[in-house]
Chains A and B, each alone.
Chain A
Amino acid sequence: MTNETDLPRWEVFTQIKPGANYMHAGTIHASDKKMALQNARDTYTRRGEGTSIWVVPSDAIVASNPDDKEMFFDPSNDKIYRLPTFYVMPEGAKAI
């Protein structure tokens, strides 16, 4: 029987090119910040898919609950006035 527990888990986010959004790549285990960054680099950017990395302790991630999906997200579904296509532009107007 092992009593061993895993080293802490970290979520890895990589930026594929400068200016792009950071995307979730996966997770790794590491005991400190430096190790977390290095492990993330060796695990998720072996093919040059990264210009920058974020690592976040997994227990620092707060996720919305699937049960709250309706309460959380449905109210924004009918706010079509947030979309540019909602507005009627006079004919002939350019670059708007």
Chain B
Amino acid sequence: MEQRDDALVQSTMQSAFDRKMEQDMPIEPKDEMPEGYRKHLIRQMSQHAHSEVIGMQPEGNWITRAPSLRARQILLAKIQDECGHGLYLYSAAETLGISRAEMTEQLHTGKAKYSNIFNYPALNWADVGAIGWLVDGAAIVNQVSLQRTSYGPYSRAMVRICKEESFHQRQGYEIMSKMMCGTVAQREMAQDAMNRWWWPSLMMFGPHDSESPHTGDAFRWKIKRQSNDELRAKFIDKTVQQADVIGLTVPDKDLRWNEARGHYDHGPINWQEFYKVIGGYGPCNVQRIAHHKKVHSDGAWVRAAAEAYMTKQKLIA
């Protein structure tokens, strides 16, 4: 008898959820939702949040060496935004019933991932430009699409993030463009950064549609609105033109315009490298997580102090 009731509740809930999906209505925290949907969101949103926060590290590597006061200001403001965006996304994910502490722990144990791109090192000042222009450029394509995602808090966070990130790509492109107008050494740095960041940026969109394991659910639940390959094509099309304008060479000899498709065709992506880096064997995987763990454990006494002070104040009041 009890089992039948459960099944009934389950199916009523499912149909309310399905109705909202059909009508393109946002799902809100208190709405009933299938467990798979909740889990998928927690996985995706926490990964997104971790990416923002881990993403502070490669650019952070250059803050103290930023070559002008203006450059220091811009870079600091930009990395600070990443931090803020991580915070917005953790906050949104918390509405699904997971705490920031739990998400942090999942990051530390490897249960939760972050974007692979941040496992690559930022080696010269042009890398700061390349990260802004290519990495943020790729992220924006993805994030613009996510503004229409079905989960309300996620979508609202994305709207805010997209609005704020509009300057990120431009500042990166400005650095690249300045360096391409500069000395020989500067132009070499810029091309070197381009060569190292181009392919990992294309990998940011994930495996080809034919091979993406989560694409099915993500589409059905309207968490994802456009496919990996569609988004990747969008990114390539606009970026190739921008590279051309400032005289940078895209490191892909197979790149050519396909009139029939209305997109660029590109050479094969090295998926072996992609899976190797995801598997923990990128240049900076160990370093990035070790840094995050150290900062988190170094800060534990501060958070404990704040909590102890709060408890004392409550006792007084």
Contact = CB atoms under 8 A, between A and B. Distances in A.
Complex contact flag A–B (Cβ < 8 Å): yes
Interface of A: 1-2, 4-9, 26-32, 35, 43, 46-47, 63, 65-66
Contacts of B306: 7, 30-32, 35
B164 to A, nearest CB: 7
Interface size of B as a range:
20 to 34
Contacts of B101: 2, 4-6
Nearest to B311: A31
Interface stretch (B87-95, B206-214, B237-245): B87-95
Given A4-B300, A7-B303, A63-B30, 19 more contacts: A1-B105, A2-B104, A2-B105, A4-B101, A4-B303, A7-B306, A9-B91, A26-B87, A26-B157, A26-B160, A27-B91, A29-B100, A30-B306, A31-B307, A31-B309, A31-B310, A43-B87, A47-B164, A66-B31
A7 B105 CA distance: 15
B84 interface: yes
Nearest to B32: A66
In the A-B complex, the 9 residue pairs with the closest CB atoms: A31-B306, A31-B310, A27-B91, A4-B101, A6-B99, A6-B100, A66-B31, A2-B105, A6-B101
Nearest to B304: A4
Interface of B: 28, 30-32, 77, 80-81, 84, 87-88, 91-92, 94, 99-101, 104-105, 157, 160, 164, 300, 303, 306-307, 309-310, 313
B30 to A, nearest CB: 5
Nearest to B30: A66
Given A46-B80, A66-B28, A66-B30, A28 B307 contact: no
A7 B87 contact: no
Contacts of A47: 164
A91 to B, nearest CB: 42
Contacts of B28: 66
A81 to B, nearest CB: 29
A43 B99 contact: no
B312 to A, nearest CB: 10
A95 to B, nearest CB: 40
A28 B90 CA distance: 9
A20 to B, nearest CB: 17
Nearest to B91: A27
A28 B91 contact: yes
Contacts of A7: 303, 306-307, 310
Contacts of B313: 32
Contacts of B164: 47
24 contacts: A2-B104, A4-B300, A5-B101, A6-B101, A7-B306, A7-B307, A7-B310, A9-B91, A9-B94, A26-B91, A26-B157, A26-B160, A27-B94, A28-B87, A29-B100, A31-B307, A31-B310, A32-B309, A35-B306, A46-B81, A46-B84, A47-B164, A66-B28, A66-B32
Contacts of A30: 306
Contacts of A43: 84, 87
A30 to B, nearest CB: 8
